[in-house]
A and B are shown apart, each in its own frame.
Chain A
Amino acid sequence: MARRIGVFVCHCGINIAGTVDVERVARELEKQPGVVFATTYQYMCSDPGQNLIKQKIEEENLDAVVVAACSPAMHEETFRGVCREYFNEYRCEMANIREQCSWVHDGEEATEKAIKIVKATVEKLRDNEDLMPILVPVEKKCLIIGGGIAGIQAALDIADAGYKVILVEKEPSIGGRMAQLSETFPTLDCSQCILTPKMVAVARHPNIKLLTYSEVLEISGFVGNFHVKILKKPRYVDEDACTVCGDCEEVCPVIVANEFEMERKPRKAIYIPFPQAVPSTYTLDREACLGLAPLTCSQCKEVCEANAIDYDMQPKIIEEDVGAIIVATGYDLYDKNKLVEYGYGEDDDIITSLEFERMLSASGPTGGKIIKPSTGKEPKKVVFIQCAGSRDKQHMPYCSSICCMYTAKHALLYKHHVPDGEAYIFYIDIRATGKGYEEFIERVMEEERINYIRGKVAKIYRDGDKIVVCGVDTLTGRKVEVQADLVVLAMAIVGKEEAVKIAKKLKVAVDDGNFFKESHPKLKPVEALTRGIYFAGCAQAPKDIPSAVAQASAAASKVLSIFSKDKLEKDPLIAVVDEEHCSACGICVSVCPYGAMMKMENGKARCIEALCEGCGTCAAACPSSNIEMRNYKDEQIVKMVEVVI
């Protein structure tokens, strides 16, 4: 049955009517087949405007409406809401004659273009189908990838709300980067002391299933219904039986570098990364061990009284259904080898910020003593270089956000350890925007008598026992040269390398810094473009601990809002396959970015409604014109093309 279409042209005060002859638009549109009524009004979005539409729908017996006004981004919801009282909301379309016409053009041509835009919208509307949102069930369990402070916080929030959480951590222990820190700015709390209770809470929580030494292998499905496969690597030690007595470690003959200590301290092949590790258990590093199959040593097993060591432990694949996923994979430091201008890697006395952090820790490689690695002596002059790799077009263009603060902390702690030492900080700008941060910087600058030098370091080279750091103080224009004992680089923060792989599995995007891309930089900073996936912590962008914790709670609240419903509503503008005429060529299955095109047993394609996001790349690719996008059908678009030319 032919539609009875009404066209409502908005003046938007003079925003539209000042440029476009709205009366002429209405009169021209009245001539279009199917358009039974057209009028104009001052402000269509106002109450009287909306009432006018309602009144005319009734009087003129309209069954479809075009509102020619502003961008659909502004008021599509408003007008669809008006129409919903009378008919399906997809019988209402907006023609954008403000942002993309009256505001950017002048005179006669603006009116001509407005007529074309409205005509095209009428053509589209003519073939719109009535649609209802798609309902999908929700599995009320959340997968969290990464057990740093962000992952821990999100896990606790969701678990406390009464829902199950699967927390997957790649390393033998949760804790992440925060566990490596000595003290935290600006309050100088001991990092371990505030983190450990949360780690223990995770381990004890009945709603949290903790999978450490595990990696996510595969993710399929969609919001409310993800299916994940997780690989639990064998640690060859029974987590529950291990009493952490340390006997095994003592007898183990293999010594390798400890990753947790930024490789500045040795560990054995059987090890616990740090004393407060959760789960509290030893792990046997298969790579380092003298050999398991065939067994070549077995000294650890011989001394283990708890009988916790099992050389035959196998990798396990764990499968879980979850309704939402939080990605909290954290950060790495920028690859030090790429920073050749600062001589890293060539010189023992040039170290990264995280290495310095471990040096400050009482349980670290030096037992909390600050040393000059090449000699083991106390350094009397330390140069801290900020933005090492950050805010640098040669490396990472962005600000790593936390370096100003931790460098100030480092300098302060250094002065506490070595009161007669001198600390220099080369900086571009000081960015101290957090609560209490500026005050902290002030305090460091004034009380601790740190030499802040505004300028980039031009050259670093070794001269005998010293490292010469040359730069220019841009505030005074003076050349500066410091004979340093130790240089600490505040390295740029980058997303984890593994983030790229995880992003592929999740079908979400990462940027050049390997940070996950949020759905909207301002209004949806926690959400991925794919529904049901959220980001927390440095996986999304460099940030400090309070921000990571806040974002984790935000992500948790997003997850909880999904879990608060039994069914989820989904936009019905998706692809539909004409299965009868499908030849099973497999093109759509190959191009769908969401895996929404499923190959059935007979090879033909079927669109999984819940997975399809409605991009339409399959419809454009289908060589049999067998896929239609609901309300964006080929014929609709071709007709629009016809009327706009």
Chain B
Amino acid sequence: MEGKEMKKIAMYWGAGCGGCDVSLLSLHEKILDLLEEAEIVFWPCAMDFKYEDLEKMKDGSIDIAFYNGAIRTEENEEIAKLLRKKSKILVAYGSCATEGCVIGLANLYSREEIFDTVYLKNETTKNEDGIIPSSNDLHLPEFLPHLKTLEQVVKVDAFIPGCPPPKPVLENALEALLQGKTEFGKSVALCDECPRKDSKPEKIEINKFYRWHEKEDNGDCFLAQGIICMGPATRAGCEAECISANIPCTGCMGAVPKVREQGISMLSALASILGDMDEEKEKEIIESLQDVVGTFYKYATAKLLPEGRLKDES
């Protein structure tokens, strides 16, 4: 290690599940290679670092800061800004930081509705006094009105998609980042590397939507079976981990670089391959599609509705 210029790296978790931190370990022995080139200067999840330590660092002294998790609280926002100041390259690590991820679906509800559900109406919560934690008595970081992605708070230099970033994506990203590159990853959609790609019929036509558990999987392209698979609109690179395990893609890798918006692109594609049928049947099938936002924007609701659900009072 001596004589070698070590990259200073940092990893922080905002509002997330912790899976991203764990995902670094999926590098297995390759993590040793990473440690040969890099020195971890801040990783509160793994080691004992204080925010003070970070504050004391010189601006721009961290070479690469990985921010995983979304921005849900004042604290998340504060650290995001701090890390931005202290780092040369700030990377949104994982789907939460990149597009808000599943927790971004919270933007369909108001803060009050969320608290209501979490603290009062949750069947497994016993809260007879109806206490909702608030800053008044505890000095908690404020829960922001809406969930934000990292980019909605600070300038971001690179994005590593995935929930959490799958091993091949991560390896590829780290290699590029250590070389100073901020553009990496594949620029085609998942079908390109899908193990079921050869089972696609000449024409895909859907006459009924099946949820994943409603149909016996015959091993063919999920879409051709009428099971919604986000693969055609989702960036490749994960080597189709889910599909290899017989689970349709839900789109955690986000959009292909050329695409403005993954959700609406897939919505259009899916509507387009509905079979010829009369208008009533058509409506019935589309009506059967529950939770449109959750289907097409499972990982990107925070981008679709950065200011929360709209309120068309009429």
Q: Name A's B-contacting residues (CB within 8 A).
A: 578, 581-587, 589-591, 599, 603, 617, 620-626
Residue of A nearest to B204 (CB): A590
Interfacial chain B residues near A622, Cβ < 8 Å:
265, 269
Interface of A: prevailing SS: loop
The residues of A that contact B262 with a CB separation of less than 8 Å are 623
CA distance A151 to B93 in the complex (A): 69
- With A590-B204, A603-B200 known as contacts, the answer to whether A625 contacts B192 (CB < 8 A) is no
Q: How far is the CB of A581 from chain B (nearest CB, A)?
A: 5
User: In the complex where A624-B232, A624-B259 touch, is A583 in contact with B192 (Cβ < 8 A)?
Assistant: yes
At the interface, yes or no: B92 with Cβ under 8 Å from chain A?
no
A586 to B203, CA, bound (A): 7
**Chain A positions within 8 Å of B259 at CB level:** 623-625
Residue of B nearest to A619 (CB): B268
Whether A623 contacts B260 by the Cβ 8 Å rule is no
Most buried by B among A578, A584, A624, A626: A624
Scoring B198, B236, B256 by chain A CB atoms within 10 A of each residue's CB, the highest score goes to B256
Question: Can you report 23 residue pairs joining A to B where beta carbons are below 8 Å apart?
Answer: A581-B187, A582-B188, A583-B232, A583-B256, A584-B191, A586-B201, A586-B202, A586-B204, A587-B204, A589-B203, A590-B203, A590-B204, A603-B198, A620-B268, A621-B268, A621-B269, A622-B265, A623-B266, A624-B256, A624-B258, A625-B258, A625-B259, A625-B265
> Which 3 A-B pairs give the minimum distances between C-beta atoms?
A583-B189, A585-B232, A623-B233
Contact, CB under 8 Å: B189 / A623: yes
Task: Report the minimum CB–CB distance from B214 to chain A (whole Å).
Answer: 22
| Residue pair A624, B265 in contact (C-beta under 8 Å) | yes
Pair A585/B231 contact, Cβ less than 8 Å? yes
CA distance A622 to B236 in the complex (A): 16
Q: A590-B204, A623-B265, A625-B265 are in contact. Are A581 and B272 (CB under 8 A)?
A: no
Query: Are B200 and A583 interface neighbours, CB within 8 A?
Result: no
Given contacts A586-B200, A624-B256, A624-B258, contact A591 B191 (CB under 8 A): no
Given known pairs A583-B236, A620-B272, A623-B268, the reply for A590 and B258 (CB within 8 Å) is no
Q: Say yes or no: B256 contacts A581, CB within 8 Å.
A: yes
Given contacts A589-B203, A624-B256, A625-B256, contact A583 B188 (CB under 8 A): yes
| Contact among B202, B236, B272 for A621, CB-based, below 8 A | B272
Q: How large is the interface on B (under 10, 10 to 19, 20 to 34, 35 or more residues)?
A: 20 to 34
* Residues of B with C-beta under 8 A to A623: 189, 232-233, 259, 262, 265-266, 268-269
Query: In the bound complex, what is the Cα–Cα distance between A590 and B268 (angstroms)?
Result: 13
Contacts of B236 in A (CB 8 A): 583
Minimal Cβ-Cβ distance residue in A for B201: A586
Interface pair A617/B272, CB less than 8 Å apart: yes
Distance of B177 from chain A, by nearest CB (Å): 23
Tell me the bound Cα distance from A589 to B190 in angstroms: 17
- Complex: A586 Cα to B262 Cα, angstroms: 17
A510 to chain B, nearest CB (A): 14
Nearest-CB distance from A151 to chain B (Å)? 30
- Residue B171 at the chain A interface, CB threshold 8 Å: no
User: How far, in Å, is A538 (CB) from chain B's closest CB?
Assistant: 26
List of A residues within 8 angstroms of B205 by Cβ: 590
Please measure, in the bound complex, the distance between the C-alpha atom of A622 and the C-alpha atom of B232, giving whole angstroms: 9
Closest to A584 in B: B191
Given contacts A581-B256, A591-B272, A623-B233, 10 further A-B contacts (CB under 8 A): A582-B188, A583-B188, A583-B191, A587-B273, A589-B202, A603-B198, A621-B268, A624-B258, A625-B260, A625-B265
Whose C-beta in chain B lies nearest to the C-beta of A582? B188
Q: Which residues of B contact A590 (CB under 8 A)?
A: 203-205, 272-273
- Residue of B198, B256, B265, B272 with most chain A CB atoms under a 10 A cut-off: B272
Q: Which residues of A contact B256 (CB under 8 A)?
A: 581, 583, 624-625
Contact A584 B192, CB 8 Å, known A589-B202, A625-B260: yes
Which of chain A's residues has its CB closest to B233's CB? A623
CB distance from B153 to the nearest CB of A (A): 26
Query: Which residues on the B side are within 8 Å of A617 (C-beta)?
Result: 272
Bound complex: CA A624 to CA B251 (Å) = 13
Q: Taking the complex as formed, is B211 at the interface, i.e. its CB lies under 8 A from any CB of chain A?
A: no
Q: Provide the bound-state CA to CA distance between A394 and B189, in Å.
A: 52
Complex: how many Å from CA A578 to CA B232? Answer: 15
In the assembled complex, the Cα of A622 lies from the Cα of B259 at a distance in Å of 10
In the complex, the chain A residue whose C-beta lies closest to that of B200 is: A586
Residues of A within 8 A of B188 (CB): 581-583, 624
Contact between A587 and B232, CB atoms less than 8 A apart: yes
B81 CB within 8 Å of chain A: no
Nearest-Cβ distance from residue B236 to partner chain A, whole angstroms:
7
Cα distance, A262 to B268, chains bound together (Å): 51
Residues B219-249 near A (CB distance < 8 A): 231-233, 236
